[in-house]
Amino acid sequence: MNMVGIITKKKLGQALDREEIDFFVEGAAKQTVPDYQLAAMLMAIRLNGMTAQETTHLALAMRDSGDVADLSAIPGIKVDKHSTGGVGDTATLVLAPLVAACGVPVAKMSGRGLGHTGGTLDKLESIPGFQIGLSEEDFVRQVNEIGVAVIGQTGSLAPADKTLYALRDVTATVDSLPLIASSIMSKKLASGADAIVLDVKTGSGAIMQTLEGSIELAKAMVDIGTLAGKPVSGIVTGMSQPLGTHVGNALEVKDAIDVLSGRTKGDLLEVSLLLGSHMLMLAGAARSEEEARGKLTAALDSGAGLEKLRQMIAAQHGDPAVCDDWTLMPQAAVIREVKCGQAGWVASMDTTALGLAAQAMGAGRIRKTDPLDYSVGFILPVRIGDRVEADTPFCTLFARNEIEADAAEAAVRRAVTIGDAPVERPPLWYAIVTKDGIRKACIIASDGAGGLFPDRTDMQSKNTL
């Protein structure tokens, strides 16, 4: 077997067998296949696609290229959650403690932010002293003791994916659906969870910006999980605006604390309850979304969710007092209140541009080695569909200096369109994908970008939680 023959076969649009995929992946993991051949293979996959069976084989081969976590010492069904990435997406910090407070163990490995999207680990590290590196033994012990842990992925997890991901970034093959699906699922399957809930974003801040593409990605990942013998649910949620109102690492931790303390409601809470409900159902802790939501809401109202976050922070050597005083986290030198400056309705947001504005302030990184400023970012309280006046608060900037605050204000203003006519608020979710089919929300609207459509399935649902 040789790499040229495998590349040629995929170049001609033919399906690869398991042995050919294993050879390709092993070459990537052990670096026995040169980068130029790996790059050629990636482009052949990007141009000709893969069948569901091929994509599953690719995900499993990448999973098996390194260590696979053994969580069998943790009783119960361990359910993981993964987001395809977005702006202001702090759902993990809300739902992980809430789900754990409902008695379902949450043993989660998360990643860092890159580009316009934020990373859960970066947010957690804005908490003084918080440690994201635990041994597998300590990871399991913490989950058994308090029910929840969120840590970084080990360096030996899916090494083939690390090699191929780096090449995809420089060969214009990032937007390949089978490569995206297999990359995500290889790491999720290697993380040792018994079941997985996928939060697949759609809209201006998502990796897949059309609804059709997002549903297709969700289905591909559910298919991989099903063929791998794991229960998987894919929920397509909106990213046409930041999920939470806070963007930036310490600010997003504050947003999660505000939600868990009951001080704020809104989209971040609602999406967290939706995802958390499906986690409880996959764990067998609830029979319906309504029952699961009731349990999560009870944990929220009683303060059990916030207490679980405190316990996790303390267990991972952070300062749990941040749950009562967020100013114990890094604070920006410049804080600027900005008004809307005009009357109208918030018509749209370029969410990727908003993420890049935070990145330019120092909240994100262009390269994985870039340092972060945990204190910077912005609070954007306006939402699409809101009526605003000239003196309505538009955003609050947290910057390192006045020059960067000026640049950030200009960037945020460019990213948010205020129009003369009322617009509909975008839905929180669009579809739920399982092995049994696709349930689409009842949406009767069109934004001219292929993002919204009427429900055309027999599995209809109101777009409420």
Just list the catalytic residues: 82, 161, 168, 183, 187
Number of neighbours of residue 34 by Cβ within 10 angstroms: 11
Packing angle between helix 351-361 and helix 402-415, nearest 10 degrees?
A: 170
Secondary structure element (H or E) that encloses residue 429, with its range: strand 429-434
393 secondary structure, DSSP code:
E
> What is the Cβ-side half-sphere exposure of residue 160, based on CA atoms within 13 angstroms?
31
On whether the CB atoms of residues 157 and 127 are closer than 8 A, the answer is no
Question: Of 263, 291, 259, 290, whose CA–CA distance to 272 is shortest?
Answer: 259
On whether the CB atoms of residues 262 and 80 are closer than 8 A, the answer is no
> What is the Cβ-side half-sphere exposure of residue 180, based on CA atoms within 13 angstroms?
23
> CB-based burial of residue 137 (10 Å sphere; 0-12 exposed, 13-18 middle, 19+ buried)?
exposed
Question: Of 184, 169, 195, 173, whose CA–CA distance to 55 is shortest?
Answer: 184
